[in-house]
A and B are shown apart, each in its own frame.
Chain A
Amino acid sequence: MAFASGYFKTSYSADLALVETRSRWVCLMVLMVGLIIFPFMASAFLLDIANQIFLAFIAAIALMLLTGYAGLISLGHAGLIAAGAFTTAILFKEINAPIYLTLPASGLVGAILGIIFGLPSLRLKGLYLALSTLALHFIVIYIGAEYESTRSYATGVIIDSPALGPLLIEDPRIWYFVFFFADILLILFAINLIRSRTGRAWIAIRDRDVAAEALGIKVARAKLSAFVICSVITSIAGCLFAYYRGFVSVEAFNLFMTIEYIAMIIIGGIGTILGAVFGTIFVVILPYAIDWIVDIFRIPTRFTTYVFAIKFAGFGLIMIVFLVLEPDGLVGIWKRLRDYFILWPFKYKTLGK
């Protein structure tokens, strides 16, 4: 990271600090205050987009931990979200369970799925997790569809808004703060996790598994822990998804959803938490931006039927462009910009990162 000058770390606590300089504290505080007053200023439409971003962010962080830090590809992210959502739906419909029961239950189901599908594939080198998570996707969707058809919820399961004690979480503003709080907790968890022994083991395996093994890292265990942590967080995101939408149906969890999450981390920049933030914002806003462009340029309605296909092709194209030309993603661009302004008027390359 670039610093203008005169910044030295003189104590261990300064070396460990998450937020390093006073100006960064100021920026962070401004951002926090901005995010807190946002729901009172924004329209219902903007609030919904913000909620979608916050919600998607939970699962995006999980995928970032798995793919960006441990270097494992998962094609079953939609399946894991579906697992959480269906656990919630089934518990709600069958025993009318409250949220403080369904949330841990979803996490538990995620952990079990993570172990079942991770164990066979993670003991192997290479990208076998991609294959077994593909299996996970289809199996979870199959089970969900079976539940829907046997209990004759043909179109989907409707879920009431959850209540925490006397507080009914129904208003989008309350949802906003629930997600906001969850996201902050998750970011703190993720940042500290990847600084810890487990996270550093993941990074070592991602960079070179043979060397990691030679350093005494138990590769199989570290990979499995990465996948289980990822699937637990994702299933919990699925539970929140079910409550927020109020409606669970297998159609929502198609492969396109998986693709969206992969797009988030690739476009944002693989291997950084900040990348997940940028990527989530970009991917969630992109469809609305396309709609907006369609509106502004008064493109004839004949073409608006193609919007979904354009979105699809656009995702693919943007991802390829980023992978080939800018593997660091939006974070790479952001870092270059920031360094340029911090170091201005000089053009020295900074040492290290």
Chain B
Amino acid sequence: MQLVVNVVQMAALYCLICCGYVLIYRASRVLNLAHGEFMAMGGYFLFTVTLSLISEPIPAFIIACFLSLVLGFGIYFFLMRFMAGESVFAAVLVTVSLGILLRGLMTLIWTSQSWHPLQNMKMENASHQLFEGAVISTFGIVMVASAVILYLALFLAFKFTRWGLRMRAVGEHPLLASQRGIGLHKFYALSWGIAVFSGGLAGMIQACDTGLEPSMFIIGLKAFPVVLVGGLDSLAGVIIGAFVVALAEILAINYISPQASEVAPFAVLLFMLLIRPWGLFGTKEELERV
């Protein structure tokens, strides 16, 4: 049973992270390779807020989420906007560089030692007994809950609101969308904002759960197989992909070795590239074979 709980918690983490990959890819066909850093930034925002502003958990989370959102908008308006007319290749390289820059800044500002925002909030990460002796930590529950809420909100927003409709239009055909009077920059910025926000949220909760250090960005890289299994342009696919990869990883930890768990997601990725490269729910036309 403990295994199931671990898988669910890890899948929730991956869901939160990968939502950002999918949103940005859908909007602009750019693979955002700096997403792991955005996630770590979220954790550091929470740490700084709890350290210097307010130590109540809920307002601190709200302020840190807001900061992540602002970071996302800022990155779009001050950096990615200039890459709009350039090739996707150049834009991807820019995200790589951005990731390095952020990682350097993180180490500069917060040093490379590990921090625990929980201590600032005077909270304990208590573990709760679930059914049949399975244990989950408080922030494990928070993680699963926020993943569920975020996905519900996104699905409803995409389906029923005007902005959601426009975002889908922009993702489908930017040129036609802009000719119908949709402000492209606004919606690109929005997808970057939500992406960094959700990644940052994942980082915050993960930081509360296990602590915070710059090497956290590795989790962002391990989340790549998730999007690929689900399909790069499918939000629903991410959920399935997250479960598949989390399962592979937890099984590897339990039955092979903890070291193997670092590799397990990538083995899944290679397998997926071989048999169904557009992912379980991705659009097949998106990706032709050459």
Q: Residues of B within 8 Å of A, CB-based: how many?
A: 44
**A314 contacts which chain B residues (CB < 8 A)?**
104
Do B98 and A320 have beta carbons less than 8 Å apart? Answer: yes
Do B100 and A259 have beta carbons less than 8 Å apart? Answer: yes
Write the nearest CB–CB distance from B3 to chain A, whole angstroms: 22
Do B290 and A131 have beta carbons less than 8 Å apart? Answer: no
Stretch in A50-58, A272-280, A305-313 touching the partner: A305-313
Q: Residues of A within 8 Å of B, CB-based: how many?
A: 48
Do A320 and B101 have beta carbons less than 8 Å apart? Answer: yes
Write the nearest CB–CB distance from B230 to chain A, whole angstroms: 13
Q: Do A312 and B104 form a contact, CB below 8 Å, given A127-B89, A324-B83?
A: yes
Q: Which B residues, 233 to 289, have Cβ-Cβ distances below 8 Å to chain A?
A: 259-260, 262-263, 266-267, 269-270, 273-274, 277, 287-289
Do A312 and B277 have beta carbons less than 8 Å apart? Answer: no
**B92 contacts which chain A residues (CB < 8 A)?**
73, 127, 130
- State which of A134, A145, A311 has its C-beta within 8 Å of the C-beta of B221: A134
**Once the chains are docked, how many angstroms separate the CA of A310 from the CA of B99?**
14
Closest to B80 in A: A324
The answer, yes or no, to whether B127 is at the interface (CB within 8 Å) is: no
**A263 contacts which chain B residues (CB < 8 A)?**
97, 100
Q: Which label, helix, strand, loop or mixed, suits the secondary structure of the B interface?
A: helix
**A264 contacts which chain B residues (CB < 8 A)?**
none
The answer, yes or no, to whether A220 is at the interface (CB within 8 Å) is: yes
Write the nearest CB–CB distance from B240 to chain A, whole angstroms: 18
B residues contacting A by CB (< 8 A) are: 31, 33, 79, 82-83, 86, 88-90, 92-94, 96-105, 107-108, 112, 221, 224-225, 228, 259-260, 262-263, 266-267, 269-270, 273-274, 277, 287-290
A residues contacting B by CB (< 8 A) are: 71, 73, 75, 117, 120-121, 123-128, 130-132, 134-135, 138-139, 142, 145-146, 209, 213, 219-220, 223, 255, 259, 262-263, 266, 306, 308-317, 319-320, 323-324, 327
Closest 7 CB pairs of A and B: A316-B101, A313-B104, A312-B104, A135-B266, A316-B100, A309-B107, A319-B97
